[in-house]
């Protein structure tokens, strides 16, 4: 029998869902500890524990003598034929940033070879990092590119975190999303640490393939979005 979820975690999850659904907007005050204790049938200490965890995640903040307020709301992130991280966040009124975690060149695994239409033994460049919105971590990403076609790509990405700008150095002036698969996961300990969420919190994983103007695959990516910090939307353009 799986272990029972602590009550404070269940309360935090319920309040995160309320914020994600727009019941409480950025800057709005949450109900008092007394009101929340009555709502969930617990004592105020349990409610305080849940609110403290949410504050650690950057979702709420406490104003002494005034109460607890919403610090941030989920970022709308469109998924469509042209997915551009910086453009998406700027369009949503957010400030985008990236933190590079690793860059390496290695042999492609079977899934990467299939997605990028590579031969066995082909090398790929792997670019991993953390995506931020208004200085808040919202997603982990791993982008994989065929090394033979883009030999110095990782050097460009070291100087400029924009994949679009780096690909342009190799003559790829435009690319589109050929496919995107989305499924739900539970955050591992490492993912939770990077995303500043609780271990086993819900996350959304996307697996995508980008192609150039000739339909040739140039990138296969995996992104793990913090489920309560991002709203994925389908876009036509």
Q: What is the pLDDT of residue 231?
A: 78
Q: What is the pLDDT of residue 148?
A: 97
Other beta carbons within 10 angstroms of residue 195's beta carbon come to 25
Q: What is the pLDDT of residue 236?
A: 65
Q: Which of 44, 138, 45, 128 is nearest to 95 (CA)?
A: 138
Residue-wise pLDDT tens digits, 84-95 = 777 777 777 788
Residues 6+ apart with CB under 8 A from 188: 199
Q: What is the pLDDT of residue 175?
A: 94
Q: Are 99 and 128 in contact (CB under 8 A)?
A: no
What would the DSSP string read from start to end of the chain? Answer: -PPPPPHHHHHHHHHHHHHHTTSS-TTPBPPPHHHHHHHHTS-HHHHHHHHHHHHHTTSEEEETTTEEEE---PEEEEESSS--HHHHHHHTT--EEEEEEEEEEEE--HHHHHHHT--TT-EEEEEEEEEEETTEEEEEEEEEEETTTSTTHHHHHHH---HHHHHHTTT---EEEEEEEEEEEE--HHHHHHHTS-TT-EEEEEEEEEEETTS-EEEEEEEEEETTTEEEEE---
- Please return the burial class of 25, using the count of CB atoms within 10 Å of its CB with bins 0-12, 13-18 and 19+: exposed
Q: What is the mean pLDDT of each run of 10 residues along the chain (237 residues)?
A: 76 86 87 95 95 85 91 77 75 84 96 97 97 89 97 89 90 93 92 87 91 97 88 71
């Amino acid at each position: 029998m799986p272990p029972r979820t602590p009550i404070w975690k269940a309360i935090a999850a319920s309040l995160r869902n309320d914020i994600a659904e727009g019941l409480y907007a950025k800057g709005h005050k949450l109900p008092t500890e007394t009101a929340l204790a009555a709502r969930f049938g617990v004592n105020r200490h349990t409610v305080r524990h849940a609110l403290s965890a949410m504050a650690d995640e950057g979702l709420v903040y406490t104003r002494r003598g005034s109460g607890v307020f919403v610090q941030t709301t989920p970022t709308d992130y469109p998924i469509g034929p042209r997915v551009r991280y910086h453009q998406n966040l700027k369009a949503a009124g957010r400030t985008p940033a990236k933190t590079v975690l690793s860059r390496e060149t290695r042999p492609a695994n079977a899934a990467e070879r299939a997605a990028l239409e590579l031969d066995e033994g082909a090398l790929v460049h792997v670019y991993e990092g953390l995506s931020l919105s208004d200085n808040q971590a919202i997603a982990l990403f791993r982008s994989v590119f065929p090394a033979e076609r883009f030999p110095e790509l990782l050097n460009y990405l070291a100087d400029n975190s924009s994949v679009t700008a780096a690909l342009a150095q190799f003559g790829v002036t435009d690319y589109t999303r050929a496919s995107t698969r989305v499924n739900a996961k539970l955050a591992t300990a490492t993912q939770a640490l990077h995303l500043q969420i609780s271990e086993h919190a819900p996350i959304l994983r996307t697996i995508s393939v980008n192609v150039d103007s000739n339909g040739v695959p140039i990138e296969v990516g995996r992104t793990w979005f913090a489920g309560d910090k991002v709203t994925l939307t389908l876009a036509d353009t």
